[in-house]
Structure 1
Amino acid sequence: MRFNYTAIALALITTLTACGGSGSDDTSTPDPVPETGFSFVATEMITNLTDDVIVAGYADLAAKGDALLLATQALLNSTSQADLVAAQNAWKAARQPWEQGESHIFGPVDSLSIDPHLDSWPLNTTDLQLQLASSSGFDAETIKSWNDDVQGFHTMEYLMFGDGVNTNTKVIGDLTAKEREYLIALAEVFRDYTAQLDDAWEVSHNPQDANAKPYAELLKTSGDATNTIYSSELAVIEELINGMIGIVDEVGNGKISDPFGESLATADTSKVESQYSWNSLTDFSNNIIGVRNVYQGEFTGGADELGLIDFVAAADGSLSTRVASEIDDAILKIQAISGSSDMPFRQAISDAEGRERIQIAIDALTTLHTSLRSDVLPLLSEWNS
């Protein structure tokens, strides 16, 4: 619509003159400045994600570290296959909160080098066999001084499940006395590191500094003058979003794509993580379930908790719904790789139909990664915090 501004100005002058006023006494309200961006109060969301997702996840990991140690200790003199299966299940149970926690793999898990201590891959089977041949009386403190690629999740996996080539079921009679001793000491190291990680978030993030705050407190007091890590709530949200982007990229372009190769001829089973237990697809789906935990604000399944979906919805309701759907779709596509025959990922990369399902999962992860990087992350610059 086009306005006749000259006519409006003449009418205004006439009105002022009739009232005995002059231009110098004009008290008209200036035109409002259009608002840009969106508003969202982030404090409650950050508190929930810190306490009920991240800290709850690491507390669960520490508890399952305790359970894993007890399960391996039961193997010392056991001849029962049920005891080995129980230890294998305890390993898988501990794997779940760890893999879900890779959606927020920042802070103490990085600064204290706990990630490589627990989850180095690939495993150095040559040095592992050398340790079994040359060492005796395995103890936790000695193992902590060894390279990361002969301790942690995957060393325990190899000892408990076997080589994973044709089966992931090891017979307890094949578990040697040295392997049992090594396994128990590894589980003790694992228990110690998971307890340290839990303490770092709930007690002190720096064991060398008696005055260091719990890392959880640093997230919840971002912007405080004494907080040298997070200068604002925006910095915390950026950390969380980048954590999600990072693990989606790692699963799609690393964990799945590297062993998948460019063709059937270039598929490489040696690059498959968790290949001995055939737990790979569960690992991958748990990685993206961890993304959903942060996005929805729920680790234990609680309802009506604030997550990043609420931050996104404050800016764009349709985007928040779309990303939630893309996360669910990626999880389902990963789980579908096994097909109707429950095919392990290690076998699926060398199977024609399995490879088709893998490519569908990679495409779903690419879609999710693009949305998080290109649509969600830029919302930080629009947020009126």
Structure 2
Amino acid sequence: MKHFTHSAVAIALISALAACGGSGSDTTPAPVPDNTFSFAATEMVTNLTDDVIIAGYSDLAARGATLLASTQTLVATPSQSNLEAVQQAWKAARQPWEQGESHIFGPVDSLGIDPHLDSWPLNTTDLTTVLSTTTGFAAATIKGWNDDVQGFHTMEYLLFGDGVTTNTKMIADLSANERDYLMGLAEVFRDYTQNLDDAWLISHDASTGKAYGELLKNPGSDGNTFYSSNVGVVQELINGMIGIVDEVGNGKIADPFGADAGSADTSKVESQYSWNSLTDFSNNIIGVRNVYQGELAGAADKQGIVDFVAAADTELAARVGTEIDNAILTIQAIEGSNDMPFRQAISDVEGRKRIQTAIDALSTLQTSLDSDVLPLLKTWEV
């Protein structure tokens, strides 16, 4: 995941709120403005921690185990159907990971799991060298290699087509050594996703023995140097939403899109071999909706950031919800009526119009989160 920058408004707010939030700061809070509102955040924070963040990481770990099992079957019995099963397992694991980028803080960052699993672009030169000089791909060995020759996109490179004219790969084109490498990669992936789930549920740090989920749900508790109050937790959650909206609109989409069709750069398209880019992008913003609404798809109605916003401004709460939905729909619409992959849409006249519509929708959403939602932290009377 790329680093992102906040607007001047966000930077000023983060500085002013440092005493209320993470990082263990004890400085004096800024004066509270007159237009304050009240909101009891404990239920919301507990729900988001347990039913959105941890539920998502547990799902990811389960799908990581399925990906490994499917890969083991492929290695034992190489066939087109078994290859396609691994491809589907890869895509299935991609979903909770991309949705989880809306809250990419805590162990996924501190344990280095994000770059381990999702580094892009690949180092295809080193990948070629590894495949031509190495056999017997032990998981422990792969973990010692650079992040750009492991994780999602190395598996994608091996599993799918070249991405230029097709995302289809035939079993005859997948060598025995590539299958062995895939199995080692899948084992590493399973380990890292299980580590991430354990860090939120059991312990994120051997020195403290505390689960990160408990730290998020219990700010200000004994030994909690990460969060001193719910203000810091909500700030973390809102900033996570802003960060991924920024990354999708101004990075993942805009970088390969370029200023015009002549400057479009397909080499910058993430998930280009599988043609999964648009699904990735929409899942990123679905992840924002999960945090905002307080629920994964199909879950019972529970508290999310929308309830915090509604306590201050019901019209704003409804508007942001609509903007999130619109951003998702405009991203999904980029493929047009003929399922056009993103890497082709960036060079297509009509495709570029649809992409610009999505970029504009993401910009509108980011502005609302940055300029309207984040400032509510200053007027929240805890």
| TM-score, normalization by structure 2 | 0.90
Unaligned runs of 5+ in 2: 1-32
Aligned residue for 2:200, secondary structure, equals helix
The aligned counterpart of 1:247 is 244
CA distance in 2, matches of 1:275, 1:376: 34
Q: Report how far residue 363 of structure 1 moved.
A: 0.1
Aligned residue for 1:103, secondary structure, equals helix
The aligned counterpart of 2:275 is 278
Q: Report how far residue 163 of structure 1 moved.
A: 1.8
1:54 aligns with 2:49: no
1:217 aligns with 2:209: no
CA distance in 2, matches of 1:183, 1:303: 38
Aligned residue for 1:57, secondary structure, equals helix
Q: Aligned partner of 1:308: which letter?
A: I
Q: Report how far residue 35 of structure 1 moved.
A: 5.9
1:345 aligns with 2:330: no
Identity of aligned residues (%): 72
The aligned counterpart of 2:170 is 171
CA distance in 1, matches of 2:35, 2:258: 45
CA distance in 1, matches of 2:137, 2:161: 20
Q: Once the two structures are superposed, what CA deviation does each residue of 1:19-45 show, in whole Å capped at 9, x if it has no partner?
A: xxxxxxxxxxxxxxx963100000000
1:68 aligns with 2:67: yes
Q: Aligned partner of 2:328: which letter?
A: I
Aligned residues: 350
The aligned counterpart of 1:231 is 228
Structure 2 counterparts to residues 1-385 of structure 1, below 5 A: 36-206=35-205, 208-209=206-207, 211-385=208-382
CA distance in 2, matches of 1:111, 1:304: 31
Q: Once the two structures are superposed, what CA deviation does each residue of 1:117-148 show, in whole Å capped at 9, x if it has no partner?
A: 00000011110010000001111000000000
Q: Aligned partner of 2:114: which letter?
A: D
Q: Once the two structures are superposed, what CA deviation does each residue of 1:1-30 show, in whole Å capped at 9, x if it has no partner?
A: xxxxxxxxxxxxxxxxxxxxxxxxxxxxxx
CA distance in 2, matches of 1:85, 1:137: 23
Q: Aligned partner of 2:261: which letter?
A: L
Aligned residue for 1:76, secondary structure, equals helix
| TM-score, normalization by structure 1 | 0.90
Task: Point out the structure with max Rg over C-alpha.
Answer: 1
Q: Aligned partner of 1:45: which letter?
A: M
Aligned residue for 1:384, secondary structure, equals coil
CA distance in 2, matches of 1:145, 1:237: 36
Q: Report how far residue 302 of structure 1 moved.
A: 1.7
CA distance in 2, matches of 1:212, 1:256: 40
The aligned counterpart of 2:19 is none
CA distance in 2, matches of 1:116, 1:236: 24
- Check 1:35–1:268 CA distance in 2 against 1; reply closer, same or farther (3 A cut): closer
Unaligned runs of 5+ in 1: 1-33
CA distance in 2, matches of 1:92, 1:105: 20
Structure 1 window deviating more from structure 2 (216-225 vs 314-323): it is 216-225
Q: Report how far residue 300 of structure 1 moved.
A: 4.3
